[in-house]
Every structure is written in C-alpha cells, then in structure tokens.
C-alpha cells in the first residue's frame, strides 16, 4: 500500500480496477480546510490522463509494472516478434499493443516489454537510437537562419525534422521519447 502523501512522479498504483501512473503531483495546504494532494494520472493500459485530488492519508494498492529486456526480431505484417534474450522464447504482439513505439527501432535492437500481472500492454524503446538518414533534401548554402529544419526519413521509415547540414547517408542520434534529432554521429 502507498499513501497519497508519498506520491512521486512515476509511481504506479491500482484504483477502480485500473492501473495509474503519477505524471504530476502537488501537495496543497490551503489556508482553511485540510491539506490535499492534486495529481495528474495516466492510465497505463489505455493511455488516458485524468486529474484527481486525494487526501494525504488515502491508501492505495501499489501496482508493480514488470519491464523485461527483449530483442525485436521482425514483423510479418500482422504480428511483431520479440525474443527473450535469456530463454530464447519468442513473444508475438499485435499492432494495437505496440502502437507507434517501434517507429525508431530496427530489427535486433533490445527493447523493454511492459507488462502488468502477465498482460503485455506496451513497449519502451531505448532512450536514444542511432539511425542512418535514407532520404532528405540537400541543404542550401547560405541558408544560415537559426533553427531551420528540413524533413528526413530514417532507415526505419520514420520522418523527423533535422538541421540543414544533415545529408542522406549520415548517421544521426534520435531521442525516442520526443522523436527529436539530437546530433550527427
């Protein structure tokens, strides 16, 4: 059990038969009345966010989210296959479970499979990946305005915004949480 007064960002707990993760929290002590904890919660399974207030003494059952390293093997059109690197067991997942979390992941990369009570609900790609730019327009000499970007397609098929000096064939580092260009490698 966890009390609402002990909330921190990232803590997961069960409420109303659902699993929630604390995205933001704020302890509020008004001049009149009792203190309370204002939170923004994300439903782990559906991805929906809600705002809710708790008394600091409210007790909620803690939810343990299991994160397991698995290797992304391939997809056959409908299913995406992952392999446990310790037992070599394969796990097929459908597109609804994965969402767009694999748009920066190449075959044979290690990802984290997220599950709650044995039910897989999501995939966490590596925080940073290095991919080759397969298609982009050439930059123009003399166009030196700050923060000017152009679209580029990387080897996984995803399109991101990159600075003008990035060319086709360059290897770049991407932050998978935001989908932003970080640097040329």
Closest CA to 108 of 127, 81, 133: 81
Question: For residues 171 and 133, what is the distance between their CA atoms, to the nearest angstrom?
Answer: 6
Question: For residues 67 and 52, what is the distance between their CA atoms, to the nearest angstrom?
Answer: 27
Contact 3, 59 (CB under 8 A): yes
- Cα-trace Rg, the chain: 21
Question: For residues 14 and 63, what is the distance between their CA atoms, to the nearest angstrom?
Answer: 6
Complete domains list, the chain, with CATH? 2-60 (2.30.30.30), 66-124 (2.40.50.140), 128-184 (2.40.50.140)
Residues 6+ apart with CB under 8 A from 76: none
pLDDT of 140: 65
pLDDT of 27: 92
Question: For residues 175 and 185, what is the distance between their CA atoms, to the nearest angstrom?
Answer: 13
Mean pLDDT, the chain, rounded, equals 89
Would you tell me how many other CB atoms lie within 10 Å of the CB of residue 58?
Answer: 15
pLDDT of 95: 85
Taking 70 as the pLDDT cut, the residues of the chain under it are 140-146
pLDDT of 17: 87
Strand, coil or helix: 96: helix
Per-residue pLDDT tens for 58-86? 999 999 889 999 999 999 888 999 999 99
Contact 81, 71 (CB under 8 A): no
Angle at 123 between CA 49 and CA 120, to 5 degrees: 85
């Amino acid at each position: 059990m966890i009390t609402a007064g002990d909330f921190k960002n990232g803590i997961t707990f069960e409420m109303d038969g659902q699993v929630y993760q604390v995205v933001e929290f704020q302890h509020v002590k008004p001049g009149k009345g009792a203190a309370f904890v204002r939170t923004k919660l994300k439903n782990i399974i559906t991805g929906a966010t809600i705002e809710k207030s708790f008394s600091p003494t409210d007790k909620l059952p803690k939810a343990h989210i299991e994160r397991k390293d698995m290797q992304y093997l391939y997809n056959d059109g409908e299913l995406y296959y992952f392999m446990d690197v310790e037992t070599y067991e394969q796990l097929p997942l459908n597109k609804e479970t994965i969402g767009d979390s694999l748009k920066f992941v190449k075959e044979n990369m290690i990802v984290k499979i997220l599950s709650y009570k044995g039910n897989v609900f999501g995939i966490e790609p590596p925080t940073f990946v290095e991919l080759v730019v397969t298609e982009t327009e050439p930059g123009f000499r003399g166009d030196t305005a700050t923060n000017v970007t152009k679209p580029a397609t990387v080897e996984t098929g995803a399109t991101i915004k990159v600075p003008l000096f990035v060319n086709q064939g360059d290897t770049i580092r991407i932050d998978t949480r935001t989908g932003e260009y970080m640097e040329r490698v």
